[in-house]
Structure 1
Amino acid sequence: MPLQLYEAKVAERGIDQVRHVIGVAAGKGGVGKSTVTAHLARALASLGKSVGVIDADVYGPSMHHMLPCLQGPSREGQWLIPASSEGVKLMSVAFFRGPGAAAVVRAPIANEIITQFLLKTQWGALDYLLIDFPPGTGDIQLTLMQQSQLSGAILVTTPQEIALMDVRKAHECFCRLRVPTLGIVENMSYLNAGGEKIFPFGEGGGVRLAQEINAPFLGQVPLEPQISLMGDQGKTVEDSPAALQFAAIAKKMVAHKELSYFEVVFKQMSVGSVIKEQLQGGYSGAGIQKIFQNGPCEVVIEWTDGTICRYDLSDIQRCCPCARCSENTPQALGLASRAYSVGRYAIKFEFTSGCSAGIYSLALLRQMKGLLV
């Protein structure tokens, strides 16, 4: 089925009924991130949770092998309907091209594909939507963090220092966009040999990293040949040490305090009504509790530290931080027609005329202050 890119923004988003969107990332390839994602999805489903997975690796998707589906995605009006693997919903670019075909697309097209998987796929009411991040910290990763309103990220590493270096970069990337790290999973930690643990890639790297970045250490997953073999066949290994670790990690995710208070509620905007409401936590600095428009020319932001600021919309537009307006003083021409979150770190305003390209970080809005109430 061809994947048609969409252009128009719609008020309803495919992830609006998803309770928690969680990124599974590593910053590099080869650490078993996709394996961890697939097994965590199944472990969460076994706990009675409704789960979906996005394979965000446009250039090297693998999740359709690990979570095999009897039937691919379908289309229903403007929406894509995800495939299903034993109750776990799945979207992957692999469904939209021939077997073994390479994805030869430029980054803007890859970003549009990812955006469609997030916003134009009818995920329905899910407890968890896991996103299997591609390697690196580039354009696609930025799109995922801006568009998906991540509840948090799980970082996957192996014990050796070369892997830890890249995971540190991934952690820094999430920190910059105010996405909390939910924990570290150390994959391929050790090999069981007759009851003795052998550490072929070194010992304790994941624990040290968790201590370094002040994040929970979620567990060590042993190196088991059977995991790789069964994963290639789209099957789950049960009752092995690795399977028990995945089950334990899933239980920690369900009980994670960071996820207990991150909820997002989107409401239609009209003059005088709430246009966005969000409870945020898990990072330094005040988040936005509520935004509402007070008349045609003023927006009010209530911050989580109790501060209330009034902003003149013309001042907001004049302070547009986009590259074009940074070089030339923009004119304030329009009224705000919409405001929406960009990830967990910024707000974007759409104006009826003039520039609407600016992404206003929470730090910038705090610096602008407005008129304190």
Structure 2
Amino acid sequence: MTVPSEDAVREALSTVLDPEIRRPITDLDMVRSVEVADGSVAVGIDLTTQGCPLRDTISSDIEEAVGKVEGTKSVSVSFGVMSDEQRKALQTKLRGGVPEAVIPFSQPGSLTRVYAITSGKGGVGKSTMTANLALAMAKSGLRVGIVDADIYGHSIPDMLGVTQPPTRVEDMIMPPVAQDIKVISIGMFTQGNTPVVWRGPMMHRALQQFLADVYWGDLDALLLDLPPGTGDVAISVAQLLPNSEIVVVTTPQQAAAQVAERAGAMAAQTNQKVIGVIENMSHLEMPDGTKMELFGSGGGEKVASELTKILGYEIPVLAQVPLEQELRESGDVGKPLAGTDSESPAATTIRNVANKLSHRARGLAGRSLGLSPINN
């Protein structure tokens, strides 16, 4: 009878990913021991924290992977906890050998597209657009993260159905993963619906921690759900992520459009780029095929036109998203519409915007190309 070798077992373990970090447990030095006896395999795993909420997931994934190794009769998994030295070594490894925290998205070698989703006023569906765009990108195969930078009005965790809290490896934060999207929000660090009562410097520090202390890995796109207006967080984003690109969300209503212009025009002072306008709640499609413009019309076009004049380059209207009950309901239950099989006009429109953003080339600005000048 074939008996599984230790090498074969370790090879199988290399296919098991840590659910939070999304890297093989072998790469993370989590495999403490492998013992094989007469087809029975015992695997010892060191977790990053004693109360790891995903212990059962790791155990079942190991049992499934090792159980496929030829000759394996049974698999048992025992857990321990990493020592302080192990945790510090893991933290340094995750940071690419750099012991101190830096914001990876602001480094010259970063290829991550950073999209700051903003609006002039609340209630226009900015968070709904952020969650749906992120999920549509993730469904297309991109690695996506969301920073819920709306410190006072955080809602992204509920919209994505996040149920588990972040965990820590030393002073590094492992963000929860919901529907293949890494998510961080101040709402994960407060009790219940407790309000956040902070002044500007505290919000800046929180945003800095979300960007530098969270382990994001290699993302294709990072979306930031900004608070409405041109306040402290918007200024902090411009300082911490100078290469971030702005998407302005408005409704057709003229009052919403006017304040949305201000949010977009801020880019002229912060040297950021506005890449487009999304007009949400554009119209209500009636059963007879007609469109009822509940909030008026032309708001998105007006914002795009005015920003084009102010900023000196063409600002397109990326989409006019219709008003749909299903779009609201899907967010309420933590399953954004653009990530479902729905073919509704709103879902299709949002997916089209996500596709436009997804197919923009990852930036090379500031990145070393490894070329040397030729001296004549």
Query: TM-score band (shorter)?
Result: 0.5 to 0.7
Q: Secondary structure at the match of 2:272?
A: coil
1:56-67 aligned at under 5 Å gives the runs: 56-67=149-160
Checking the alignment, whether the CA contact within 8 Å between 1:55 and 1:133 is kept in structure 2 is yes
Checking the alignment, whether the CA contact within 8 Å between 2:131 and 2:336 is kept in structure 1 is no
Greater than 3 Å deviation, 4+ residue runs: 9-12, 14-18, 259-265
* 2:113 is the counterpart of 1:20: yes
Question: Aligned-pair distance for 1:263?
Answer: 3.7
Checking the alignment, whether the CA contact within 8 Å between 2:112 and 2:362 is kept in structure 1 is no
Q: 2:293 aligns with which of 195, 199, 215?
A: 199
Q: 2:358 aligns with which of 239, 254, 278?
A: 254
Aligned length: 258
Partner of 2:302 in structure 1?
208
Q: Secondary structure at the match of 1:37?
A: helix
Partner of 1:226 in structure 2?
326
Q: Secondary structure at the match of 1:23?
A: strand
Q: Deviations over 1:221-243 (max 9, x none)?
A: 00001111111111133211100
Question: Which consecutive unaligned segments of at least 5 residues does structure 1 have?
Answer: 1-8, 266-276, 279-373
Counterpart CA distance in 1 for 2:118 and 2:291 is: 27
Checking the alignment, whether the CA contact within 8 Å between 2:256 and 2:299 is kept in structure 1 is no
Partner of 2:165 in structure 1?
72
Q: Deviations over 1:51-78 (max 9, x none)?
A: 0000001111000111122322111122
Report the residue type matching 2:299 in the other structure: G
TM-score, normalised with respect to structure 2: 0.65
Counterpart CA distance in 2 for 1:189 and 1:244 is: 14
Counterpart CA distance in 2 for 1:215 and 1:147 is: 24
Question: Aligned-pair distance for 1:264?
Answer: 4.4
Report the residue type matching 1:254 in the other structure: S
Q: Secondary structure at the match of 1:126?
A: coil
Checking the alignment, whether the CA contact within 8 Å between 1:188 and 1:222 is kept in structure 2 is yes
Identity of aligned residues (%): 37
Question: Aligned-pair distance for 1:99?
Answer: 1.1
| Structure of greater relative contact order (alpha carbons < 8 Å, 6+ residues apart) | 2
C-alpha distance 75-260 of structure 1, shift in aligned 2 (>3 A):
closer
Partner of 1:128 in structure 2?
221
1:105-120 aligned at under 5 Å gives the runs: 105-120=198-213
Counterpart CA distance in 1 for 2:207 and 2:363 is: 27
Partner of 2:372 in structure 1?
none
Checking the alignment, whether the CA contact within 8 Å between 2:111 and 2:364 is kept in structure 1 is no
Partner of 2:140 in structure 1?
47
Report the residue type matching 1:220 in the other structure: Q
Question: Aligned-pair distance for 1:260?
Answer: 5.0
Q: Secondary structure at the match of 1:140?
A: helix
Checking the alignment, whether the CA contact within 8 Å between 2:282 and 2:323 is kept in structure 1 is yes
Checking the alignment, whether the CA contact within 8 Å between 1:79 and 1:122 is kept in structure 2 is yes
